Structure 1
Amino acid sequence: MTPGGGGPMKDCEYSQISTHSSSPMESPHKKKKIAARRKWEVFPGRNKFFCNGRIMMARQTGVFYLTLVLILVTSGLFFAFDCPYLAVKITPAIPVVGGILFFFVMGTLLRTSFSDPGVLPRATPDEAADLERQIGNAEDIANGTSSGGYRPPPRTREVIINGQTVKLKYCFTCKIFRPPRASHCSLCDNCVERFDHHCPWVGNCVGKRNYRFFYMFILSLSFLTVFIFAFVITHVILRSQQTGFLNALKDSPASVLEAVVCFFSVWSIVGLSGFHTYLISSNQTTNEDIKGSWSNKRGKENYNPYSYGNIITNCCAALCGPISPSLIDRRGFIQPDTPQPAAPTNGITMYGATQSQSNMVRGQRQHGEAACHHGQSLGPGFSQESWGRIYAAQAL
């Protein structure tokens, strides 16, 4: 597995277009073939990729490995030292149920950690320049002026979703107006659709495409932790009835370690599961709940436009709906005639640099119109008004 990071992305290279006919003395066999590169190799965000782009994680994954160690060690000790005794003294179903819970926990954890959480593609330089020109022209018309100086675009736009006004914020790094419920993760340096939070324990952002797996992970982990803790205590009690409490602890020191780990973990895990159950039942995200986006304190008319008004419907929408496809196509090949998003400087791209990029692109376009056609893809930075219409219609 070869990890790949977020390197700088190149603009259209018009120097590759030959402006003179090749000499008859030139041999076609001497031309070097340029190997096709995949998009994950030049991805601008701060992510790591494995298995040729199939696995996508955050760059900081140390806490994720700690999560794996805690689950594997605690479960391994339980199956090795407690289950043989409990299967004989109580029932063989105990290791079977424990094994099912363990594999479900590991499956949902890896699915959450290794998947695209819903990253939104960044605007290409052409798309960003076109968007800024549109906003600048709209401002001039609204103000009745047409100043020649360059002004940065406004930071917000407003759309109506189910009768509630929702503001779309402009991302200075990705050069897009973020769709509703999206936010920019400062750790991964990506705009994530229906952003919930960045979870270091799973080593990834939690968003639209992996939230259900995150919820199933913490819920199943709660059951596994309670299950192990309860039967470890049962194991110690049964042994203490035969040989005494101190001798039982000496005979099974692994049970003591398991009980300590589970005791200090169960409160936070169960509490986190309960909190996200509340969020799912009200169709909110952690980001919205922390900010108080739909709190009654902001006004009597402030309400959550994404809630269906029914707990069961909200839960079904969050857990049972179809998973949207990834928008970044990280395993796709880079086409030489496709403009690539510009890499940010220190995580934030200022508008002065954007203006110089747009001037450069405008000059290049005069000499290489055949190599780079802007506006071919209707990405999130190019057709911004459509975001509001799409989300208003679907009420996501």
Structure 2
Amino acid sequence: MTFLQAAFTDPGIITRENHRIALQKYPYDNVLFIPGVKCTTCSFVKPARSKHCRTCGGCIARQDHHCVWINNCVGQGNNHYFILFLCSIALLLTYGAYATQHLLSQLLQARQESANVFYSQYHSRPILGVQHWSTGLSWSDYFSLWGWAIVEDVCVGGVGLLSTLCMPMAWGFLGYHVYLMWAGMTTNESLKWADWRDDIADGLVFMAEEGAGEVSLVSTGHTERDIEPQLTCPASKRQILKRTPNGEPPNYSRSGDKLPYLDLKGEVALKWHRVKSLKEVENNYDRGFWKNVESVFKPVIL
């Protein structure tokens, strides 16, 4: 209950007061997040790894998803609380399933005579002896006796059924979020990577060749102080991916096309090659498992 209550806290809603801090938290990777993209609702440039949530009514820093369990977004401010909540609920459900099995097993062992009387109507001889109640039973009789035990102690049986049915879902969610930390992703980013994978399979994605020299990302109608503190970087360390509608390499020499990738002299600096597999694309937000865990459990307060 403590972690559940903590997960209700501010997920990292971006306002005009903390917008600058949010911009400085993560760089744009030019794959999932492009500099200069403006949120039409909040009317400011979206920081990298953020997403606007219509339910919460704002852009969320490092937004993972909007969770119906807690009726709140999971983002930079409460992701660690949400993971601890999943961990605690998974352990609680596991203990509930185990404790129920133990109690009902004791009930069956202690009430063998009652079970023999109940099942003697359908069997020529008693199916339970002095040994463990499950010894020598067929699968049909085994599950029938569990059904009898659940009906006999319906409160414990109901809790056990609920715990057993919900336990795999809780462990599945927890395992998925541990995987996301390992991969340096959020749920929102995993969906974006899935879109890139589909476009790559269709042959529509091109990447700038490494070693093209230092490039400057030209603003698309916004000033540099509104986008990202550092707009220049080595092209070999920052991938630039482009989708094309016809499967042809990007051509910025055509009339009317913008030149978003220029070298320091103002000339087109990038050459493109077709991406054949998502393995060729590096996730720039993956800093290694332990650093990813640290970024989740030691978030920057906006």
CA separation of 1:290 and 1:163: change in aligned 2, threshold 3 A: closer
Q: Which moved more, 1:251-260 or 1:269-278?
A: 251-260
Does residue 1:302 correspond to 2:302, yes or no? no
CA separation of 1:257 and 1:283: change in aligned 2, threshold 3 A: same
Alignment partners' CA distance in 2, 1:224 and 1:266: 9
**1:253 offset after TM fit, Å?**
1.3
Larger relative helix fraction: 1
Does residue 1:313 correspond to 2:281, yes or no? no
The AA in structure 1 aligned to 2:72 is N
1:230-245 correspondence to structure 2 within 5 Å: 230-244=98-112, 245=145
Q: CA RMSD in A?
A: 2.7
**1:249 offset after TM fit, Å?**
3.6
1:144-183 correspondence to structure 2 within 5 Å: 161=28, 166-168=33-35, 169-183=37-51
What SS class does the counterpart of residue 229 from structure 1 fall into?
A: helix
Q: Which moved more, 1:201-210 or 1:165-174?
A: 165-174
Q: Deviations over 1:111-161 (max 9, x none)?
A: 001x110001158xxx9xxxxxxxxxxxxxxxxxxxxxxxxxxxxxxx965
CA separation of 1:227 and 1:219: change in aligned 2, threshold 3 A: same
Relative contact order (C-alpha < 8 Å, sep 6+): which is higher?
Answer: 1
Alignment partners' CA distance in 2, 1:294 and 1:283: 17
Q: Which residue of 2 aligns with 1:286?
A: 187
Q: Which residue of 2 aligns with 1:324?
A: 300
* Unaligned residue ranges in structure 2 (runs of 5+): 20-25, 113-144, 206-274
Alignment partners' CA distance in 1, 2:196 and 2:91: 32
Aligned length: 183
The AA in structure 1 aligned to 2:292 is N
Alignment partners' CA distance in 2, 1:238 and 1:227: 16
Larger Rg: 2
What SS class does the counterpart of residue 77 from structure 2 fall into?
A: coil
What SS class does the counterpart of residue 177 from structure 1 fall into?
A: coil
Name which of 3, 6, 10 aligns with 1:116. 10
Moved segments of 4+, more than 6 Å: 162-165
Name which of 135, 140, 165 aligns with 1:264. 165
Q: Deviations over 1:19-66 (max 9, x none)?
A: xxxxxxxxxxxxxxxxxxxxxxxxxxxxxxxxxxxxxxxxxxxxxxxx
What SS class does the counterpart of residue 34 from structure 2 fall into?
A: strand
TM-score by length of structure 1 reads 0.42
The AA in structure 1 aligned to 2:13 is V
Q: Deviations over 1:243-279 (max 9, x none)?
A: 1357744552111111221122112111111111100
* Unaligned residue ranges in structure 1 (runs of 5+): 1-105, 128-158, 327-396
Alignment partners' CA distance in 1, 2:93 and 2:27: 44
